[in-house]
Chain A
Amino acid sequence: MSKSLLPILAVVLLLVPLPSIGLAQTPAASDVADSIAEYRRMLREGNPGELWVARGKRLYHTPRGPNGVSLDACDLGLGPGELEGAFAALPRYFEDAGRVQDLESRLVFCMTHLQGFAREPLLREAFSSGERESDLEALAAYVASRSNGYPLAVELSHPRELEMYRIGEGLFHRRSGPLDLSCATCHSREQRRIRMHGLMNIHNPAQVRDVMGSWPTYRVSQGTVRTLQHRMWDCHWQMRLPDVGYGSDATVALILFLNEQARGGEVDVPGVRR
């Protein structure tokens, strides 16, 4: 298959009930859930996402950009160069940026301020597409993997973090657009599905921990690692809402709200999802 067809295929796969997993025509929901769990177990033994982690590690520690430096001096919240457990405590307020940042907006900050990359192309190419790889997807997978085994624990102590949390909670429940949707429309009840695709329930901490601890994740339907920023962006497209900016305040607020609901969940990335 031509690689240029992959984005189209990905969209198709998002809209149809899992034909690639070889399910019967009319499966019961429990059978589907079992099949997906089994499929995930099989994939985890050789998770392709590990390739993104390896590439991200190389990119992170190699001198790059107009300034010819690595990201080793990047402060992800625990001090420059401190990667162990840093992702598990994001998003957080950063004095040098003057704003609350999630992993991806922090990486963009370090790549522009330390390495001298221009911001606009970084944002434009943040999501891989067809044959074009994304450095940010690989970097995010690598940095997040350095929190494996750590519990998700945002600090929520700085006033700006508390404000962003409240905004995120409000956004999660804010209905708008032609279909009157909010995040909560689909993600606030137990055992719900869009077509055959199971939906996380925000009121079920075990489910939220499982989801938030497993991104960045290898998306089987897309053949690449996707990040939380991509999840937010893709949901917006499906909801018929406008293009939400990569690392924008709205996405950071939503991710902060979600990570607080996921408090205590163990980071285990890259995950594997449909």
Chain B
Amino acid sequence: MMLNIKTRNAAGLAALASVALIVGACAAVDYGESGKVDYTKMSAEELGEYLVMESGSWNMDQEVQEGGTARDRMTQDAMQKVCSETRNQPSPEQAGQIIADARASIQYPEGGIRLGDWRNGRDLSWGGFGFRIVHNPDDHSLREPSGNCYNCHTMDPARPGGNLGPSLTGYGAQRGNNEATRRFVYEMIYNPHAYFPCTAMPRMGAKNLLSEQAIADIMAYVLHPDSPVNR
């Protein structure tokens, strides 16, 4: 059982366990209509985690690109849990812990942080390929996962992007391509919770979503003076 809960009575836990067995026996396509669990006997916290992990609402057994199964993707880590529970408004103590964990997660390239090829970075910033599963899983052996940057940011002003994040147009022109800026941009891409705990931005490095070279290429797109982002 993957329930991360304080169960209030042993009888409830036993009932849960038996129901999980029943649900687990269902055919793969038939997930999600348990109908046999009395949700009213559980606390709100139990309910949510029960529903996610044991109700059979999702196909948890599908293999995923990073290894393991879809169940791992639904299992929350510490940051995801705190940010969900606080609606992305962590207490100062929680924020401090998230920042410390994020800082500890960042690994730096051997030989220092450098810029790659901004043309490849342009394509990686624009692309939305990678890590999708279900009926149409992205095959990473055919193509490298991209950054999804334009989902949330405008970069080259000729290619409007989303606005969940700030515009990055002219970022390198304004900040300069120096050691301090390169370090900040690298860390922001790698794990932005080091600066903004509970930010909406994904952890592209810490979650192994982009390779070291891909990050270098995207950084070049953001910072290089020849990149359309800065011209």
CB within 8 Å of B: which residues of A?
Answer: 11, 15, 17, 25-27, 29, 97-99, 105, 119-120, 123-124, 159-160, 163-164, 166-167, 170-171, 173-182, 184-186, 189, 191-197, 233, 236-238, 240-251, 253
Contacts and interface: CB of A to CB of B under 8 A. Distances in A.
Given A173-B84, A178-B66, A250-B57, A194 B74 contact: no
B44 A170 contact: yes
Interface stretch (B28-36, B104-112, B175-183): B28-36
A245 B80 contact: no
B52 to A, nearest CB: 7
A177 B59 contact: no
A191 B163 CA distance: 9
Interface string B27-67: 10111111110011000100110011001111110100010
Contacts of A195: 150-151, 160-162
Main secondary structure of the interface of A (DSSP, over half): mixed
Contact of A245 (B31, B44, B47, B131): B31
Contact of B57 (A99, A119, A248): A248
B55 A249 contact: yes
B76 interface: yes
Given A25-B158, A123-B30, A167-B47, A99 B59 contact: no
Contacts of A164: 39
Interface stretch (B8-16, B114-122, B200-208): B200-208
B32 A247 contact: yes
B70 interface: yes
A174 B47 contact: no
Contacts, number: 179
A159 B52 contact: no
A164 to B, nearest CB: 7
Contacts of B59: 242-243, 245
B47 A120 contact: no
Nearest to B161: A195
Contact of A238 (B32, B48, B132): B132
B209 interface: yes
B132 A243 contact: no
Given A192-B163, A244-B57, A250 B73 contact: no
Given A176-B75, A180-B203, A243-B135, A250 B47 contact: no
Q: Give chain B's interface residue range (CB within 8 Å of chain A).
A: 35 or more
Nearest to B75: A176
A241 B150 contact: no
A97 B57 contact: no
Q: Counting chain A CB atoms within 10 Å of each CB, which of B30, B51, B203 scores highest?
A: B51
Contacts of A17: 160
Given A26-B160, A97-B35, A123-B30, A180 B202 contact: yes
Given A166-B44, A178-B209, A248 B32 contact: yes
A171 B51 contact: yes
Nearest to A17: B160
B56 A245 contact: yes
Interface string B161-191: 1111000000000000000000000000000
B58 A241 contact: yes
Nearest to A11: B136
Contact of A15 (B35, B128, B159): B128
B68 to A, nearest CB: 11
A167 B43 CA distance: 10
A193 B164 CA distance: 6
Contacts of B58: 236, 241-245, 248, 250
30 contacts: A26-B157, A26-B158, A97-B35, A159-B40, A166-B47, A167-B51, A170-B48, A171-B48, A173-B87, A174-B48, A176-B80, A177-B74, A178-B131, A180-B200, A180-B202, A193-B164, A197-B162, A236-B134, A237-B135, A241-B58, A242-B58, A242-B62, A242-B70, A242-B134, A245-B29, A247-B32, A248-B57, A249-B33, A249-B57, A251-B57
